[in-house]
Amino acid sequence: MKRSKTMELGVGLFMLAGILGLLFLALRVSGLSLEPPGDEFRLEANFANVGGLKPRARVTMAGVTVGRVESIELDPEWYDARVVMSLDEGLEGALPEDSTAAILTSGLLGEQYVGLSIGGAPETLADGDRIRDTQSALVLEELIQQFVSNMVKE
């Protein structure tokens, strides 16, 4: 029976390794979060144009990832894009009210992400608040258009 015990152990380890591997793929590679949703710190921001920003893109502050984009949808009131971000809980009540959000691009071909810059107001943002000062994504065609029309004026 000893041989079958080691065999069982081998198979058990094999299956455990498979499950751990799947967890690794879920958490480390695809960046799923195990934390239950609900007790998160959510902020909204409206952008005139989100460019290529996608859900689950990074939200950074001074280059450090502090959260993810949860959803992007059209705001029917102003016809601009409402981006909902979920941030680290530790930041709740620490961000000044006049903080700004910008859609940035990492490198020339990299993916787009949201960068937060800290403001100076004494009031702070709470869960569900909206960042008012936003900067839209740079769209290459618009840049070129501006550049060309400036040249023509000169």
Partner 1 sequence: MIALLQRLGRMGCNVTEGLGQAAILLVQSAVGMPSAEGIRLWLRQMHFVGVMSLAIVLVSGLFIGMVLGLQGYTILVDFGAEDALGQMVALSLLRELAPVVAALLFAGRAGSALTAEIGLMKATEQLTSMEMIGVDPLRRVVAPRLWAGFVALPLLTIGFGVIGIWGGELVGVKWLGVFEGSYWGNMQASVDFVDDVLNGLIKSLVFALVATWIAVYQGYALVPTSEGIARATTRTVVYASLAVLGLDFVLTALMFGGLS
The angle at the Cα of 55, spanning 75 to 92, to the nearest 5 degrees, equals 80
Min dist CB 153 to partner 1, Å, is 32
Q: Which of 52, 56, 94, 146 binds partner 1 (CB under 8 A)?
A: 56
Q: 49, 138 in Cβ contact below 8 A?
A: no
Min dist CB 24 to partner 1, Å, is 5
* 11 forms part of the interface with partner 1 (CB under 8 A): yes
Q: Which of 48, 49, 65, 142 binds partner 1 (CB under 8 A)?
A: 65
Give the up-direction half-sphere exposure of residue 146: CA atoms within 13 A in the CB hemisphere: 6
* 73 forms part of the interface with partner 1 (CB under 8 A): no
Helices within 58-110 (DSSP H only)? none
The angle at the Cα of 85, spanning 101 to 81, to the nearest 5 degrees, equals 70
Binding range to partner 1, per CB under 8 A, among 3-11, 34-42, 122-130, 144-152: 3-11
Give the up-direction half-sphere exposure of residue 54: CA atoms within 13 A in the CB hemisphere: 3
Considering only residues 100 to 139 of the shown chain, the ones binding partner 1 according to CB under 8 A are 106-111, 113
Please report which helix (H) or strand (E) contains residue 130, including its range. strand 130-131
Which residues here bind partner 1, judged by CB under 8 A? 4, 7-8, 10-11, 13-15, 17-18, 21-22, 24-26, 28-32, 56-58, 65, 106-111, 113
